[in-house]
Structure 1
Amino acid sequence: MSNRSNLFPETVERPTEAVPVSFEDTSIAFSAQSNSKLRKTYWLFALMNKGWLVNLGTFFIKIALRLHLPIKFLIKNTIFEQFCGGESIRDSEHTIQQLHKAHIGTILDYSVEGEETEKSFDETTLEILRTIERASEATDIPFSVFKVTGLASTELLEAVQIGDSLNKEQKAEFDRVLKRVDTLCRRAHERNVRIFIDAEESWIQDTIDTLSYEMMDRYNHERPIVYNTYQMYRWESLAHLRRDTEEARAKGYYLGAKLVRGAYMEKERVRSHEDEYQDPIQATKEDTDRDFNAAIDYALENRDVLSICLGTHNEYSCQYCVRRMQEMGIPANDPHVYFAQLLGMSDNISYNLASADYNVAKYVPYGPVEAVMPYLFRRADENKSIAGQSSREFTLVANELCRRKSCK
């Protein structure tokens, strides 16, 4: 393999000091928000902190959208503004620049969902290519990202995974999927842009994994370009990460790994129960946390071949990675370790890590308001369902508002 020190010439080696990063410093966390914007954020999380209200609001918004009622302005100036960059890449430029000022990168995430036609798959491919081109123009976008279900039907991916015999039409359809995936990864390689392939449900994930490793073997021999995603709430993921690292080492390519906890637990458990197969999800949250942190240790110990991005809002895991990096003498801005959070969430993690010189990026979803509503509904539900998430966000914003008043 080539000398890694030459892969990222923009990196500056700095002496590592064992200084903890505080996620309680709200003056840094909300430094980019004006008083009026912060008050707006306060009221939004105050509402999202009430589960019954989130359920009721989601219900009525869905009805209003079906009836084509004029509520786009309300949505765009509340939940859309909080969690999305805009309706296009151009609309997102202000967000990209604001994050860049805080030394936080942007991951443009084209979040249109629910379209399953060949035309929509081709249109999504073209849009992801635009994100790659934009990322290649400056250092403010360190990664691009796509979901394979944005390029292929779930039914086809599942048929491939279970080994069904594909008919002539399905084979042609899957050939087009392979071409779309290769087009994106090849362009990312040509433009020197790292690209995430997001994880999805277990009944199609093996197909996605196979595509990811094939792309890595094509395009990761010089540097880590293609990253697969490991959902650590699945009990086999840590073993897979170790297996895949050794395979990459044996074949002479770099493994890119985005580590997440996971996003489909309820669906996974319901389906495994209904179809009577082994639940792929860890027995307890503690098991997930243990494997996530073990994956951090493994990745830091294997940086000769493995680059990671921690896609997490878990404060302990972020602190754990920081501490292990310090103990191992790994510089904060080591190019093979990134942290990532969603726009509008966990700014206390993102901004404080960036302020301490760690590599941080925000997922910035974008797309037409109506088309990204499924994403926004999940964000609202996630804040409601993750233990203490909306309360944590609300408390931090409240603390900063109080601090600003006392500073006057």
Structure 2
Amino acid sequence: MKEHTLFDNTETAFALKSDSELERAYFLFKMIANEPLVRIGTAVTNFALKAHLPVKGLIRATVFDHFCGGVDEEDCIPVVERMYEKGRVSSVLDYSVEGKEEEEQFDHVLDKTMGILDFVDQKEAIPFGVFKPTGFGRFLVWQKKTEGATLTGEEEEEWNRIEERFDEVCKKAYECDVPLLIDGEESWMQDAADELVAKMMRKYNKEKAIVYNTLQLYRHDRLAYLKELHEEAKVYGFKIGMKIVRGAYMEKENDRAAEKGYRTPICENKAATDLNFDTTLDYILQNLGDIAVFIGTHNEDSCYQAIELMRKQKIVKNDPRVWLGQLYGMSDHISFNLAAEGYNVAKYLPFGPVKDVMPYLIRRAEENTSVAGQTTRELDLLSKERKRRKL
């Protein structure tokens, strides 16, 4: 394998896309590249959905089908099977419904997650389960718990139910022997999530990593947290599961820190974030006996670094403790080329009712416009593949 040209292979990257799907992807990224258009499109879409205008079909045929697997698990199966059979790329089914506030909605997310674990248990192509902490309880309760504020009697009951939901789903994952990725969220609720996830690790990660937390490495304090957790794991005799990502709430984090007058938890610039990510990855791969990792990144350099570190540490490409992951609809040049080389690769495959998944899709579009070079790279590769096919 020629180092640093692996991800230029567009034939492998887009092998699963028909000509019309390739054209749709090109059209979508052209739109996303235009920031004012994203803003207008977002506002119009939100209005249309709230006003119950008939836009679902249009959304479904364009942005939804590009970035999502379907409206429910069954709907995702053709996508899952196609990626796995043709591209050796696995899927992580992600029920991407955000911002709920009611207890019955949290119970619904729990049922959905439990159902997915049953579903996944039978499918080699879906190696992980996943959920967000705020899918199981109100953000405010997480925040108060993180800040050490006194909970009302009602909130105490809510917190107990959050703990019960966590325990129920982690126990299920343990029984099904399916690792479970727990997403990271905003820093002002994350400490409570970290504590609860560590508690689940102590309980269910005795033999191997089943429960995985998430480190958002645009935060400068996360490697120190991992090292502390590692010491605790040695004392209590449990394995650590960790998904590492750069992070998804940067503007929000910086704005809140400025507004409330505390030091932002975000690294001072992109270079510092990249260094933090790479240093953490290095630490984990040097301690693979204790820590299993899911490397969630769209950054080509980080993927090359993972390849290089694995080679140095003599870690085989398909070691079950090392996975690389990208989001569905993005960075196919990374996912499919890595999988073709024999690495464990999974795509995060969001699903859910069109209306409920829109906040997720809008964040994706905004993220693509704000990450310098991401959309440009996608467009370059899609152009290259279109030319190659015409020839």
TM-score, normalised to structure 1, is 0.94
C-alpha distance after superposition, 1:289-308 (max 9, x if no partner): 11111111111110111111
Q: Within 1, Cα distance between the matches of 2:176 and 2:338?
A: 27
Q: Distance in 2 between matches of 1:104 and 1:113?
A: 26
SS in 2 for 1:310: strand
- For structure 2, which runs of at least 5 residues remain unmatched after alignment? none
- Which range moved further: 34-43 or 196-205? 34-43
Question: Given the alignment, which residue of 351, 371, 379 partners 1:386?
Answer: 371
Q: 1-side partners of 2:293 and 2:105: how far apart?
A: 31
Is the counterpart of residue 403 in structure 1 residue 388 in structure 2? yes
1:153 is displaced (CA, Å) by 0.4
Q: Determine if contact 1:21/1:319 at 8 Å carries over to the other structure.
A: no
Q: How does 1:353-372 map to 2 (within 5 A)?
A: 353-372=338-357
Query: Deviations along 1:151-187, whole A, 9 cap, x unmatched?
Result: 1001111111111222221111111010001111000
Conserved 8 A contact 1:353-1:360: yes
Q: Residues of 2 paired with 1:33 and 1:240: CA distance? A: 41
- Residue 346 of structure 2 aligns to which amino acid in structure 1? A
Partner of 1:229: 214
Question: What pairs up with 1:131-142 in 2 under 5 angstroms?
Answer: 131-142=116-127
Residues 194 and 226, structure 1, Cα contact 8 Å, conserved in 2: yes
Q: Indicate which of 253, 256, 262 corresponds to 2:247.
A: 262
- In the alignment, is the contact (CA less than 8 A) between 1:18 and 1:327 conserved in 2? no
1:373 is matched with which residue: 358, 361, 370? Answer: 358
Superposition deviation, residue 20 in structure 1 = 6.0
SS at match of 1:161: helix
How far is the alpha carbon of 1:19 from its aligned partner? Answer: 6.2
Equivalent residue, structure 2, for 1:349: 334
Q: Which residue of 2 aligns with 1:68?
A: 52
Query: SS at the partner of 1:354?
Result: helix
Distance 1:43 1:264 in 2: 27
CA distance in 2, matches of 1:46, 1:173: 45
Q: Which of residues 238, 261, 266 is equivalent to 2:223?
A: 238
Does the CA-based 8 Å contact 2:216-2:247 persist in structure 1? yes
Match of 1:54 in 2: 38
Q: Tell me if the contact between 1:254 and 1:306 (Cα under 8 Å) persists in the aligned partners.
A: yes
Of residues 41, 44, 52, the one that matches 2:28 is 44
**1-side partners of 2:278 and 2:147: how far apart?**
31
Moved more, 57-66 or 79-88: 57-66
Please say if residues 260 and 312 of structure 1, whose CA atoms lie closer than 8 Å, have aligned partners that are also in contact. Answer: yes
Aligned AA (1:58) = T
Counterpart among 89, 97, 107 of residue 81 in structure 2: 97
CA contact (8 A) 1:21 1:356 kept: no
Work out whether 1:35 is the aligned partner of 2:19. yes
CA contact (8 A) 1:18 1:326 kept: no
In the alignment of these two chains, the number of paired residues is 390
* 1:36 CA displacement: 1.4
Query: Match for residue 156 of structure 1?
Result: 141
Instruction: Letter of the 1:65 partner, please give it.
Output: L
Decide whether the 8 Å contact of 2:219 with 2:266 is kept in 1: yes
Q: Which residue, out of 183, 196, 215, partners 1:198?
A: 183
What per-residue deviation string (whole Å, max 9, x for no partner) do you get for residues 109-160 of structure 1?
Answer: 0011122100100001000111111111121111111001011001111111
Q: Which amino acid in 2 is paired with 1:325?
A: M
Q: What's the CA shift for 1:395? A: 1.1
SS at match of 2:75: coil
> Matched residues, percent identical?
43
| Aligned mates of 2:56, 2:378 — CA distance in 1 | 25
| Further displaced range: 213-222 or 59-68 | 59-68
Please say which of residues 218-227 and 58-67 is displaced more in the overlay.
58-67
| Structure 1 unmatched runs, 5+ | 1-16
Q: Distance in 2 between matches of 1:385 and 1:164?
A: 35
In the aligned structure 2, how far is the partner of 1:254 from the partner of 1:230? 16
On the 8 A contact 1:21/1:353 being kept in 2, the answer is no
Structure 1 residue 21: deviation in Å?
Answer: 6.3
- 1:55, 1:160 → 2: CA distance? 35
For 1:315, which of 279, 300, 309 is the aligned residue?
300
1:80 aligns with 2:64: yes
Instruction: Show the counterpart of 1:187.
Output: 172
Judge conservation of contact 1:20–1:323 (CA < 8 Å) in 2.
Answer: no
Instruction: In structure 2, give the amino acid aligned to 1:24.
Output: D
Partner of 1:339: 324
Residues 306-338 of structure 1, C-alpha deviations (whole Å, 9 max, x = no match): 111111101100001101111222111111111
* Superposed CA offset, 1:25-61 (max 9, x none): 0000000011111111111111111111111111111
d(CA) in 2 for partners of 1:29 and 1:216? 36
The equivalent of 2:154 in structure 1 is: 169
Kept in 2, the 8 Å contact 1:254–1:305? The answer is: yes
Q: 1:135 to 1:21 in 2, by over 3 A?
A: farther
